[in-house]
Amino acid sequence: MTEQNPDKDVDDWVTGEEPATGPQLSYLRTLAREAGEDVPEDLTKARASQMIDRLQGKSPRTAGREDGGDQAS
């Protein structure tokens, strides 16, 4: 099994200039709505990932969480 590096610079992604994926856009819209921001229409995978990282820091659900995920109750 190949181990992936989640910290790889998005500018080095082979597919970074492809359009953002459906799951990226869905999650991004949720975070943007919580932050009172808009999601640009023509996001690439790389830029969507960067925006997700930035907005996770603003979200009350994910701010301060290393993994950015929801805590189980």
**Distance between CA atoms of 28 and 31, rounded to whole angstroms?**
5
**For residues 47 and 64, what is the distance between their CA atoms, to the nearest angstrom?**
21
- Rg of the chain (C-alpha set): 13
Predicted TM-score (pTM) above 0.85: no
Cα 72 → chain centroid: 20
**Residue-wise pLDDT tens digits, 35-59:** 999 999 999 999 999 999 999 988 7
Q: Count the neighbouring beta carbons within 10 Å of the beta carbon of residue 48.
A: 22
> How confident is the model at residue 60, as a pLDDT?
74
pLDDT digits (tens, 9 = 90+) for 3-36: 555 566 777 788 889 999 999 999 999 999 999 9
Residue 5: what pLDDT? 52
